[in-house]
Structure 1
Amino acid sequence: MSQHGPATRPYKGVPAAERKAQRRAALMEAAWDLLGTEGWRVVTVRGVSGHAGLNDRYFYESFPDLDSLLLAAVDDQAVQGMTAIRAAARNAPRHMATRTRAAVSAIFDFLAEDPRRTHVMAREFSASPALQDRKTKIIHAFADIFIAEVHELLDEVDLPDQDLHLTALTITAGLWETVTTWLRGDLAMSRDHLIAYIVALLLATT
């Protein structure tokens, strides 16, 4: 008797768990592509499955509903973005102005690498109720990066922890809206000017 049940039997040499992971990844990429090009309203089970080249039945194998898929796709991009920012900061000299510019520039570089990121940040977070809620969590995560960098670069932080957290949250939330406005084309300013402004603001705050 085979030791593999129907759900775990390899197909063309590929284990069932690996095939399932591939289908999940394909659905996430399809959802991200549709979200970043056409918007969240066209992200349907049938639309995503078809875009991924999968039968509809495979959707619920990986996700209980569309919001779960959208959030997984956005979370994946957020993690990539935060990883890029941390890497840029760590690879820069341990100097406040230099690291700040490296981190801020990394944000704009990350957005520019994939036009879908620009579209989602500028248009979709405000359009989708699920993404509106997720935006708050992402802002808190970026605020945590800000706090970590302050502790890394300053030998002594004058602000109490609660006030530092409030400062980080205020700056991060405000900059999210500023960058979003710029991405929509509603702020007449060059990329270099905006980066220089953000860097100066962060340095003045810390």
Structure 2
Amino acid sequence: MVFVAQVRPYRGIEARVRDADRRQRFIDAGLDLLGSGDTPDDLTVRAICRQAGLTVRYFYEYFSDKDEFVAAVFDSVTAHLAATTQAAVAAAPWAEQNRAGITNIVRIISADRRVGRLLFSTRLSNGVLLRKRAEQGGIFAMLSREHIQAALQIPGNSRISATAHFVVGGVAQTLSAWLSGEIALSPEELVDQLQAILDQLNEPRLFRA
């Protein structure tokens, strides 16, 4: 006979729910610290735990070190942004897909400036964030390239790759400048401007090898 040990609920909350809640509290704390206007130069485990309201013991149950923690915060934010943007684009007619994607991104970073700073601010110098941003840019460029190929029904080539990288880098830099106040546009005006630029890149002649 095999006996299966069961974890008793604590105050009516299952162990796996408490576990997920604690991890999310760390992620939220990381977004607070990394996405704030005054990110500390030396992000310590104690500062993270203090922000999350949890002990150091719990930190090491989820993360091996600070680098893994920062990467997890970044990945969590990026996953949400990517999933909602892809869904918005997929639900829109072809002619409106650029606007749908940009609108979703601007809406999210407008509602929560921490997200925008974490993903786009040039003032953050954390090494892990810089590496993750470079990886993110490559992934988004690949998705942009695949989108162009599918929309225009043409095979991939270097011109499509160049355009995809231009789009990803240009949009990211524009969003960074907007978040820092260098670009004085309302969210709606920013979407209009970016859409106007991106729509010019739908010209098939740009992609002929």
Same fold (TM over 0.5): yes
What stretches of structure 2 of length at least 5 have no aligned partner? Answer: 203-209
Report Cα offsets for 1:74-109 as digits up to 9, x if no partner. Answer: 11111111112111112212x33x111111111101
Aligned length: 199
Q: Give the fraction of aligned pairs with identical amino acids, expressed as a percent.
A: 26
1:160-179, aligned counterparts within 5 Å? Answer: 160-179=156-175
Query: What is the alpha-carbon distance in structure 1 between the residues aligned to residue 28 and residue 122 of structure 2?
Result: 16
Query: What is the alpha-carbon distance in structure 2 between the residues aligned to residue 204 and residue 142 of structure 1?
Result: 19
1:45, distance to aligned residue in structure 2 (A): 0.9
Q: Give the match for residue 190 of structure 2.
A: 194
1:86-101, aligned counterparts within 5 Å? Answer: 86-93=86-93, 95-96=94-95, 98-101=96-99
1:11, distance to aligned residue in structure 2 (A): 4.7
Query: What is the alpha-carbon distance in structure 1 between the residues aligned to residue 42 and residue 8 of structure 2?
Result: 34
| Aligned-partner residue type, residue 144 of structure 2 | F
| Aligned-partner residue type, residue 200 of structure 1 | A
CA contact (8 A) 2:149 2:156 kept: no
1:67, distance to aligned residue in structure 2 (A): 1.5
Q: Give the match for residue 108 of structure 1.
A: 106
1:17-36, aligned counterparts within 5 Å? Answer: 17-36=16-35
SS of the residue corresponding to residue 183 of structure 2 reads coil
Report Cα offsets for 1:24-53 as digits up to 9, x if no partner. Answer: 222111111222224253632112112222
Q: Give the match for residue 45 of structure 1.
A: 45
Q: Give the match for residue 58 of structure 1.
A: 58
Further displaced range: 182-191 or 51-60? 182-191
SS of the residue corresponding to residue 8 of structure 2 reads coil
SS of the residue corresponding to residue 41 of structure 1 reads coil
1:3, distance to aligned residue in structure 2 (A): 4.1
Root-mean-square deviation (Å)? 2.5
Q: CA 1:125/1:138 → structure 2, altered by over 3 Å: closer, same or farther?
A: farther
1:69, distance to aligned residue in structure 2 (A): 0.8
Q: CA 1:123/1:175 → structure 2, altered by over 3 Å: closer, same or farther?
A: closer
Query: What is the alpha-carbon distance in structure 2 between the residues aligned to residue 162 and residue 125 of structure 1?
Result: 32
Q: CA 1:54/1:124 → structure 2, altered by over 3 Å: closer, same or farther?
A: farther
Is it true that 1:126 corresponds to 2:119 in the alignment?
no
Query: What is the alpha-carbon distance in structure 2 between the residues aligned to residue 145 and residue 106 of structure 1?
Result: 16
TM-score by length of structure 2 reads 0.82
Query: What is the alpha-carbon distance in structure 2 between the residues aligned to residue 161 and residue 40 of structure 1?
Result: 43
Is it true that 1:183 corresponds to 2:179 in the alignment?
yes
| Aligned-partner residue type, residue 8 of structure 2 | P
Q: Give the match for residue 75 of structure 1.
A: 75
TM-score by length of structure 1 reads 0.83
Q: Give the match for residue 143 of structure 1.
A: 141
